[in-house]
A and B are shown apart, each in its own frame.
Chain A
C-alpha cells in the first residue's frame, strides 16, 4: 500500500499540512500586529483583480472604451492592481524586517519574491493590452529592452494578440499557482516566531 504514489502523496500531505494546520482556529499569541493583515489584503486585492478581469474578458478588449459599465469595471481592475502592489510591497518590507524566512521558511520567502516578479510581468502585459495611447507608447518603448536580450524573439510586446493571451491566461495562472504555493507554505510552517524568542525565556506564554 505505502508503495502507491497516491498513498505516499496523501500521507505526506496529511503529515505536513493536516486540515487543522490549513484552517487553524488559533494562532500563536505573538501574532498581534497590523503587519499580518497585509498578506491577506494582497490576496484580497488579487481576488478583486481576477473578478473584474474575468468580466472584462467576457466583454472583450474594446468594451471598456465605449461603455460606462465597461469603464467602471476597468477602473476596478486598475485600482485593485494599484492596491495589490501597495499591499504587497508593505507585506514584503514587513516580512523582511521580521526576517520571516527564519526557521526553515526560505521557500515561503522565495515563492513570495517570485510572486512579486510574476506580478510585475502580469501587470506589464496588462498595460500593453489597454488598446489605447498608453499601450501604443509602452509597446514602442519597451520593445528595445526585451529585444536587447533576445527575449523579443518569443515575447513580442508589439504583438497585441500574444500579449492579450499571456495577460489573461498564462501569466495569471502562473501567478495564481505561485500564490497558492506561497500561502500553503505559510500554513505548513506556521507563523514565524519573533526574533530572539527563546525556549529558555521565562514568563508569559511559556
Chain B
C-alpha cells in the first residue's frame, strides 16, 4: 500500500521507531580527529606547503628597468591601469555594470588613489636626492596642472611609440618627467620604494592597496603570474604556486572565465563586464545550492537516480524496496 506525499513527509520527520543499534558518536568523533590530525601531520612532513617569496619593486626595477620606468610615466600621465580604473579608487571610468546595475560606480570612491602624487611624487619626496631630481621635483610642483599633463602625456606617448624602449625615445617637451621617472626607478632599484609606498609618510600601516595597485600596473607581476600558471584565463584561480593543490573548490567560479562570452573582453555586454556577470551568476548558484530542497526537478533527482540504494543497501536488503507515490 502506497502512502501520500504528506504522510511520507510526516513519517520522515517523526522520531525513528524502528530497529536501532549501539553507536558511540563521541568515540567516532575522537577517532576521526586523531585520523585527520595524523594525516595532516604526515602530509605536512612529506610535502610541506607552498610559500613563494613575495616580489618586490626592487626586483621589478632591477630586472626590467624600462618597464618600471614606463609604468612610472603612466602613473604621472594618468594612463596606467590604476589611474584609469574608476571606483573605488577614482572617477576615471564608469566601472562594470550588469544591465542597469552600476554597483561599482554607485559604491563610490571609497579608497581614493592618486597615482601621480601617491605613487610617484610623495615617495620621491621622502628621499635625499641628487640636485637634478630635486630640481625636477621643484619644477613639477611649481607647474600648472595643464602643463604637468602635457609633459607627462607627451612623454608617455613617445615611450609607447618607441615600444617601451626608453633609450630609443627621441628628445621632446617632456619637462621634468624623465628625471622624475629616473629618480623613482633608482629609488626602486635601491629598495626604498616598497616601504615608502606603504607608509605614505605615516608610522603604522596595514593597508597594501597602493603597493598592490602600482605593482599590477606593469608587466612584472603579470609575467610572474603567467610563469606560475596562475592566469585566470587558464584556470589559474584554482592553481597554487609550486606543486601543490590549489583552491579546487573554486572550479565552478573559475569555469566561467574559460568559456565565451565571458572569456572575451571585446564582447559586449557580457565579456566586457565578465567579472560582474560571473559574480551575479555565482551568487545565484550559491543561493540555488541552499535552496536545492525546494527546487523542482533538482530536488527529486535523488529519488529517480537510485544512488541511495547503495548507501542504505543493508536496510533495503532487510526491508525490501517500496515505490514512492508521486
A contacts, CB < 8 Å to B: 23-33, 35, 37, 40-41, 43-45, 47-48, 52, 64-65, 71-72, 74-80, 82-83, 85, 89, 94, 96-99, 101-106, 109-110, 113-114, 116-117, 119-120, 123-124, 127, 130-137, 139-141, 143-154, 156, 158-162, 164, 189-201, 203-206
Chain B residues in 8 Å Cβ range of A64: 51
Given contacts A141-B232, A204-B319, contact A148 B40 (CB under 8 A): no
Interface size class of B (residues with CB under 8 A): 35 or more
- Report whether A28 and B111 are in contact in the complex, using a CB–CB cutoff of 8 Å: no
- Judge if B241 is at the interface, Cβ distance under 8 Å: yes
- Taking A127-B247, A137-B225, A144-B275 as known contacts, 20 extra A-B pairs with beta carbons closer than 8 A to each other, sorted by chain A number, are A24-B23, A30-B314, A30-B315, A79-B39, A83-B40, A89-B249, A99-B302, A106-B293, A132-B51, A134-B50, A134-B240, A137-B224, A140-B216, A148-B103, A152-B111, A153-B88, A156-B111, A158-B213, A189-B13, A197-B11
- Report whether B95 and A98 are in contact in the complex, using a CB–CB cutoff of 8 Å: no
For the complex formed, measure the closest distance between the CB of B59 and the CB atoms of chain A, giving whole angstroms.
11
Choice from B1, B36, B53, B311 contacting A35 with Cβ under 8 Å: B311
- Judge if B168 is at the interface, Cβ distance under 8 Å: no
Given contacts A44-B35, A206-B18, contact A71 B104 (CB under 8 A): no
Residue-by-residue, is B283-296 near A (CB-CB < 8 Å gives 1, otherwise 0)? 00010011111100
Given contacts A44-B29, A76-B44, contact A83 B39 (CB under 8 A): yes
- Report whether A26 and B323 are in contact in the complex, using a CB–CB cutoff of 8 Å: no
Chain A residues in 8 Å Cβ range of B48: 71, 75
Given contacts A136-B221, A156-B209, A205-B318, contact A199 B250 (CB under 8 A): no
B contacts, CB < 8 Å to A: 1, 3, 8-16, 18-26, 28-29, 32-33, 35-37, 39-41, 43-45, 47-55, 87-88, 95-96, 103-104, 106-108, 110-111, 206-209, 212-213, 215-216, 221, 224-225, 228, 230, 232, 236-237, 240-241, 244-245, 247-250, 273, 275-276, 278-280, 286, 289-294, 299, 302-303, 305, 307-308, 311-312, 314-316, 318-324
In the complex, the 10 A-B pairs of residues with the closest C-beta atoms, listed nearest first: A161-B206, A103-B12, A150-B107, A205-B19, A75-B44, A101-B293, A103-B13, A150-B103, A27-B23, A148-B276
Chain B residues in 8 Å Cβ range of A134: 50, 52, 240-241
Chain B residues in 8 Å Cβ range of A30: 18, 312, 314-315
- Report whether B208 and A158 are in contact in the complex, using a CB–CB cutoff of 8 Å: yes
- Report whether B28 and A132 are in contact in the complex, using a CB–CB cutoff of 8 Å: no
Alpha-carbon separation in the docked complex, A26 to B249 (Å): 35
Chain A residues in 8 Å Cβ range of B39: 79, 83
Alpha-carbon separation in the docked complex, A144 to B50 (Å): 25
Alpha-carbon separation in the docked complex, A82 to B39 (Å): 11
Give the nearest-CB partner of A146 in chain B.
B279
Alpha-carbon separation in the docked complex, A197 to B318 (Å): 11
